[in-house]
Structures are given as structure tokens and as C-alpha cells.
Amino acid sequence: MSTEGSGPVRFPAMEDAVLERWEKEKTFEQSISAREGKPVYVFYDGPPFATGLPHYGHILTSYIKDVIPRYQTMLGKQVPRRWGWDCHGLPVEFEVEKAMGFKSKRDILEFGVEQFNDECRELVLKYADDWRGFVNRMGRWVDFDGAYKTMDNDYMESVLWGFKTLHDKGHVYEGGKIVPYCVRCQTVLSNFEARLDDAFRPRRDMSAYVKFRQQDRPDTFFLAWTTTPWTLPANVALAVAADENYVCIEHGEERLWLAEGCLGGLFDEPVILERCTGAELAGLRYLPVVGEVIDASAHRVVTADFVQMGDGSGIVHIAPAFGEDDALLGQQYELPAPNPVRDDGTFSDAVAQYAGQNIFEATPRILADLKSSGLLFKQEQIEHNYPHCWRCDNPLIYRAVESWFIRASALREQLVENNSQVNWVPEHVKEGRFGDWIRNARDWAVSRNRFWGAPIPVWRCDQCGTVEVMGSIAQIEARSGRKVEDLHVPHIDEHRFACQCCEGTMSRVTGVFDCWFESGAMPFASRHYPFENKQEFEQTFPADFIVEYLAQTRGWFYTMMVISTGCFEQNPFKNAMCHGVILAKDGRKMSKRLKNYPNPMDLMQTHGSDALRVALLASPVCKGEDIKFSEESVRDVVRRYHLLFWNCLQFYKTFTEIDQFSPSGDLGQPLDNVLDHYLLHELAALESDIKMWMESLDFSKIYSRIEVFINVLSTWYLRLNKARIWRDGLDDDKRQCYEVLHYALSNFARLLAPFMPFLAEAVYTELGYADSVHLQDWPSIDRQYLSYELADEMSSLRNLIASVRNVRETNGVSQKFPLRSIRVAGIEQAVLERYAQFLEEELNVKQVQWAADADEWAQPVVVLIFSLLGKRLGPAMKAVTTAVKAGEYVIDEQGVLVAAGQTIQPHEFERRLTVRDTLNNVGIVENMVVWLDLDIDASLKREGAVRELNRRLQDLRKKAKLGYTEKVDIAVLGGAYVDEILVHHEDWLKSQLLVQSLLRSDLEAPLAVDEVELPEGDPVRIQLRRSVLA
């Protein structure tokens, strides 16, 4: 895997080589078998629908599902990783319908249910190979060969057992309720399906103010507002707020009743004829606006708590067949609930004038008819958030439908208790999004009037109505006397048997399970529990970890919690992580049509999977936030992580090969060398921090800490150790440096393994290890290396360096020009003197001096914390602020500040240093103040110029692809200023570049040439070639 002689490393090609090795050596399988007999770490892999290729949401989740098992494996646990396929339900049926050109359920029935389900079965695994290739390229390890499929008989049998268990415990009932309904798919949806993803989205609809004629006053009308005019044929009542005032106003020759609080939005100067409360209107009767009077109980005014005085007229039209509040009100007042809408969303013959018309398409005609009959007061288009089907994208309606329900409302207390035992990331989900949802859990409609799914295992007698619920294939076979070959419809419906209570025949009820019920049964159904693997399941339930995106708090997380609570009285998982949504760079949803995101496979082939992994997992999306994703973020990871670390590795390899060093594993006394000690401190601290942050699953902090270590290694340790490494020979000090570097690189590769598995493997191999890094244990770094005092010193030095560079930049003084001196206050003299040589080299300064104080450069100021003081001090805040700015305050020994007669506690203000107004050559960082001598004379300019020459010539070495140790000839062609520079600095320049010959005339056959602009003088031409004397 060495890149020697191949030019710049290509990380995607490196990853391809790693994948080949893993496949050849069966590394994943080894990682499982090597932990046989160890404690098992269980994570549930939520089954994706196999109806398309993976998107960025799948990719993000997969990366997390790879990091956790790799890490837990290194901690000594066995982590089975079994893939699963969600095979049933609307997603699959909808894709088949599109492929077959079907427009309705009638088309399926005409085609044949058996043939349709065969098409579904064939479609399900159409993309299986593509998924496998994609997930493998990501570097995620998972068992595809042993994948469970929700369409397998074993899985479905466990689903049946789960339903029967819930039924036997009293958690299942059959009934009619108002539920979300898709007229295109002709099936019920659960209340949480209507809230998945962006199911609620803006939609333009026609709203109307409709006049309902009072029965005993032909010139008087109740003015009601509706956003669903198609429900008017099902109207049976008008609702008002009992305690609100209502008025009857003059409107031409008519009289209109409406809420007094809604007058302003509809009329400019209304003439009020009557006033009363809503309660006084109750009982008044009116005539229907569509159709005939239904019966004596209908078409009257009733009171309701849900009537609002915001939009509308304060009078609500009630259709119990099409609204949850309406249905409850209908039960309260014993109102009829006519339903003139067929399953396909068309009007039935009960509304003759609109029979056969789609309810949404009929709306304009309904309004036109109302207008022509004088019953339409006003109509207007509104834009409102409206629920849509999560699969076919058609608008939903709320409709009274018979279904089988899980009594989730009765499980609320147990759900809340079980949730209290779960650790959620982000933490707020526990009591927030998920906690709120389960505290208000509604009964869950689990049957679907569809075809491709596990069957509802209920048989009903055609005579006496007796019901039997079957919980296993054996029970069905025992009752029917026939072998069950396939649990899917229509095969399962061939199993009929005699009723045990009468002479009737028992047949299965229509319908299949909601696919969310099937996926929610995954913890036990994927193991065919309780028919097989009973002990294995019971010993590993609940799972240690699950992860999905935030909306699954109302999807898979929720369904698992309901089913596990109902069946086992147990939470199904111990730790749950929710991530946010990945949006396109423009902030919009990623769209194939808009092509507003990069192809993920192309991205991995360009930059590598590790880079994509880091870009996603280090982002706020892992804290439940939405992010805007761009290719630039992935490219940036390669620069900040890969290249920097790989260059460190190659630097180590180059010089250890020159010195023929072989690591012994004996670090000697690294604590004797402060840089060695500091690097090992950072390594030990990194290992400790990763373990701490893995407890809270804070990936952003982990990747940030990894980047810090890479920077310490590259821009601090190796940079400050160059002279130590470059000197000739392999003395004890240099050997110790190499031992420390090898120890740090090899252990860092192991720490990196779960988080950047490809790069970790490549580095570990480059270091000479034959076994995979992913078969190693988590490294235990000796705690004796931890020295936070040393780390604080190094942090101060790095901050000091940053401050000096900032002052240089502010004053336009290039870093390449050496300074005569800097003076530093606010740091221990011994610390500064210990690192003076480092600082002088790093900062390009002749002398670093310590200062006892910084009084002549900086002055202390007090900064009041207004967020704490404003509310407490109130009007006195202004006087305190004025006094503090004027310096009219005292601070006592306890740190309490007194100003303008007010006492300010130590936590309510900060003391800082600020540069005195007349100075621009002073920097302040933390408590340190640094003064720079910015006077650059001719000799310093010459040094700066030769440093620039050196930098550009080093670039030529790289351009010519020369090794670190190859000697060169160079030519420097310029005028008198160049002569002057070389008189003073030729030897230094030659030593930096390994120059054999420095010429002032053109080279023959140079490998690289360039032109340099120096601070003074004419442009200088430089040339470089491999030395002819080498």
C-alpha cells in the first residue's frame, strides 16, 4: 500500500486497496469470530425499504452504525451486525403500481392479487446488490448474507405472535375511528404516518363562508367558515362557543349570525340587530345546504369547546364522518354520521348531483351551486399546511374507517416509565419530541386495506361473529387442517374452518398489517421469536443502541416502544440517537429533479469515504440539527485530516528508513524531553477524551479532538523536532524521538480505527503491521504521560505564537522578516525561558524576552455582564455603567466590585486587559501581553528575502518530485540585491536545501524553474536540478 514513487497519494484508490484486503482476508468475519464467548453488544439495524438506492440520510445513519460496532468490538465485545430489509407496505406497492401503470386499487383486483404480490416480491430485492455494493464502498461492515426480510414466513409468524400477544393482553380492539386516509392508496394511515417527514406541507385550497338558513326564519342565516367544502354534504350540525357573544347583523335584506369577535375581519360598519351568547343559540335549527334533512336529530346548533375566535366566523360546520373533534361532538349529542364518500375518494349516490366525482375536483362545482342558490357568502383561496400521503404524495382526508387498533392510549403510563430508562441523544428528545408523543399516545390503526403485507391473523364466523386470533402457523394449520405454504394473501385466505360456537364457517378478515407494525416487531421477529432463538433473544433484549433520524421518534422508535411495552412490559432499547436532516447546499431538500446535491458514490470515488464520514459525523446533524451539505466540506476534510496525517507518516518513514531504524517498543525516558512528553500527553488525553465522548455519542467533539492531535503532531511536534531528526547519525536522543513517534502513530491509528477506518488501516499497514488494525484491542495509553500542567504551558505558547502572527498581519509585517525581539508579560519567566529557543525559531525572532509586567502596553478594564445585571439593577444600571467606564469603582479582597453605590458580585463582571490606545504593536491573549519590535532594518530584510528564496526553492524540490535526501544544484539569477543576500546567507540557504552547487548562471536541463518577487530589487529567476555530483 506504499505510495512511494507514485506521486501524491490518492485516498480513494487507497480505500479500494483496503476493501480488497478486507474481502480477501475476511477481516469483518474475523472481528466477529475473534470475540466468540465475549459479552454481546446489541444494536438494532432499522430495515430500509429496498425500493431505491441509498441517499445521504441512509449514508449518515450507516456511518454511525459502523462507528459504534467497531468501537465496541475494540473494547472486547462481540457485535453481530445483521442487515434487514423492510419488504412490505405502501412503498413497495406504490412502486409496482407505477411500473404496471395502475391508477387505482380496482386495477390491482383486475390484474389479480396473487400476481400483484408476485410483482412486489420480485421488486423488493431489485436493488439489493446495489445496496450491498454501496454500503461496502462506504466501509461499513454488516452481514448481508444473513439478512432478515419482513416478507419471510418466519418473520411474519413472529409478527402474528406479537399481535396475538397484544390481543390476549387486552391491547387490541376493532372499531371505527376518524383516521388519516389516502383516497389514492385507498387505505388507512396511522396518526404518526400523517406526521412523518414533510407530510404536512403548504397546499392551496378553496375556503368558503357558507350561509345556513335558520329553519323558522327564512331571511336569517348562520354564517359558517370551512376549508373543506367537499364535507358539506355530510353536515349535521353547527358548533358555537358557549360563552362567546354572537350577533345577528343586517346584510341587505338578510340577517346573518356570527361571533361578535369575528365581525372586524368580515364587515366594516355592521348594523347589529341582536346579541346573545353561544349557549343561547344552542338548539336552534337550520336547513342543510346540500341534500335533504337527514333526521330529527340533525341540523341544529350545538356548543363545543374547540370553537375558536380567530379565523372564520366563530361558527363551525360539523361533519362527524370527517373530523376527530366532529366525531366526538357527534357522540356527545347523538348526531348521525353520514358518509357520502366512497373508498376511492368519490361521492356516492347519496349525493346524487356529485355522484362519482372526486371530492377535491367537485369542490368548485359545490361552491358554484351554493352561489347560484344564494348560500355562498364569500369564497377565497388559502394556503395552509395540509397532510399528504407519505408514499404517493396525494392529499389525505380524515375519515371514519373500521380498523384494528392497538390501544396505545391505555399504555401511556408504561410508555413513559419505559422511556425514562432510555438514554437519548440529543438529551432533549427524551422529554421533548419523543416524551410529548408518548404522553399523548393515540390508539394505533394497524390494519391496512391493501395486499402486500403480513396478514391480520383474525378469523371471524360468518354466522355468529365469533372471532379467533391466530399467533402461529401451527395454530392455523391445526384449525384448517392444511399446511401453510405462504402467509401472504391470497394464499392465507384459503384457510377456512368450522366455527366452534355454531355451524358457521370462519374466514380471515380482510386487510394486512401496517408495515410500521412489522418493522416495530423487528427485535423479536428478526430472530423468529418465540419459535426459535428464545434464550438468545431474552438474554440480549433490550438492545444497547439504535440510531435513526429525528422523525423516527414518531416512526420506528415509537412503534418498537409500543409493541415492546405491550408484549414485554419493557423498553426495547437502552440508548437511542437521533440525527437531523441533510439538506442541499442551497438549504432546500435534496432533489433528484433539481440535481442540487453531488452523487454520493462519485463523491466517495473523488475524495474517499472516510472524508465523507468525517464531514457528516463531525457536523451538527449528529446533534439532531439540519445541515446544508456541500462537496467543499468533504474536500476540506481531506486537507485538514488526511493529507496532514499522511505527510506526518511519510516524514517518519523517510527518515527512519534513512537511519535504518527499527522500533523496539522501548520508549526510554520520553518524559526527559518536553516535546516527547507533550506528544504522549496529547495521545493519552485523546484516548481518554474519546472514551468520555463516546459515552455521550458526541462525534463532533471526537473529530475535533482528533484534528487537534493531528495538528499537534504535524505543526508542533515534528516542526519543532526537525533539527533533532535532520542531524546525521542515530544517537540515543534521535532514537527516542523515533520510538515516541512510532508509538504515537501506531496507537493513534488504533484510536482512529472506528472513526476513519480506511486511513487507520492504511497507516497501520504502512507502519509494518501484518494484522488488520480492526482486529486490535482499544489501546490503553499509560496515564503517567498525562500532564495537564505541561499541556497548559504548550497551549499558552501556541496562543502566544498566534498572537504574534496576528500583530504582524495587522501591521503588514510579513512572517518571513525576522524581528529583533519580542517581550512577553503574564507568563512565568521559567516557562518562557525554557521554550525561548522554540519560540525564536517558530516566530522568526532574534530574541524572546520576559517582562515583569505590561503596565506600559496594556491596561485593565472591567466588563459588566449585562444579561445578569440588567434585570437586577434596573434603572441603576446606567449609573453603574458610566462609573465603571470612568474608572470610578473599587474591587475588594473578595473580588466584589462597588460602583455608583451598587455592589457587583464576581460572577457578574469580568476583568480583562486591553491594549493602550497609542500602541499597535501589542497583542493580548489570555493573560499574556506581547510587545513586538517591528522596526525592520536592511539586514532583517535580507534575512526575510533569503527565507522567501528558500521557500520557493523548496517548492521547486516538490515540483521536481525529489526525495528528502536527494542533493540538488540550484541557480539564482538576479541583480546586485541577490549578490548582497548571498554574501551574507549563501551557506544557510545551501544547508536548508541540500545544495551541492549554487550557480549564478543558467543550469543545463533544469527539472523546475520559477520567478520570485523579493521585497527589494528586480525579479529573481530560480532553477533546480538533481545534483550532477550526487
Binding-site members for ATP are 592
| d(C-alpha 437, C-alpha 554), whole Å | 7
C-alpha grid cell, residue 504:
358457521
Residue 878 backbone phi and psi in degrees, to 5: -65, -45
| d(C-alpha 702, C-alpha 939), whole Å | 47
Residue 1002: what residue type?
D
Whether 162 contacts 85, CB under 8 Å = no
Whether 219 contacts 481, CB under 8 Å = no
| d(C-alpha 884, C-alpha 897), whole Å | 10
C-alpha grid cell, residue 383:
394556503
Angle at the Cα of 1027 from the Cα atoms of 1025 and 1030, rounded to 5 degrees:
155
Tell me which of 85, 131, 225, 516 is the catalytic residue.
516
Tell me which of 78, 186, 552, 736 is the catalytic residue.
552
Whether 56 contacts 600, CB under 8 Å = yes
Which bin fits 595, alpha (ψ -120 to 50), beta or left (φ > 0)? left
Whether 113 contacts 489, CB under 8 Å = yes
990 catalytic residue (yes or no)? no
86 catalytic residue (yes or no)? yes
Tell me which of 77, 589, 701, 967 is the catalytic residue.
589
Tell me which of 12, 47, 598, 600 is the catalytic residue.
47
Q: Which of 59, 61, 125 is nearest to 92 (CA)?
A: 125
592 catalytic residue (yes or no)? yes
Distances (CA, A) of 406 to 400, 403, 526, 565: 17, 10, 21, 12
| d(C-alpha 629, C-alpha 583), whole Å | 6
Residue 258: what residue type?
L
574 catalytic residue (yes or no)? no
47 catalytic residue (yes or no)? yes
726 catalytic residue (yes or no)? no
| d(C-alpha 192, C-alpha 187), whole Å | 15
Whether 176 contacts 337, CB under 8 Å = no
C-alpha grid cell, residue 129:
446488490
C-alpha grid cell, residue 21:
484486503
77 catalytic residue (yes or no)? no
Question: Strand pairing partners for 355?
Answer: 347
Cβ-defined contacts of 725-732 (< 8 Å, 24+): 725/655, 726/655, 729/659, 730/659, 730/660, 730/661, 732/668
| d(C-alpha 472, C-alpha 808), whole Å | 79
Binding residues: 592
Q: Where are the beta strands (DSSP E) in 154-290?
A: 172-182, 187-188, 200-213, 220-226, 237-240, 245-251, 254-259, 271-277
Angle at the Cα of 855 from the Cα atoms of 853 and 858, rounded to 5 degrees:
110
| d(C-alpha 609, C-alpha 600), whole Å | 9
Whether 426 contacts 549, CB under 8 Å = no
Angle at the Cα of 10 from the Cα atoms of 7 and 12, rounded to 5 degrees:
165
Residues 6+ apart with CB under 8 A from 385: 200, 201, 202, 203
Residue owning grid cell 347560484: 372
Question: Which of the residues are catalytic?
Answer: 47, 86, 516, 552, 556, 589, 592
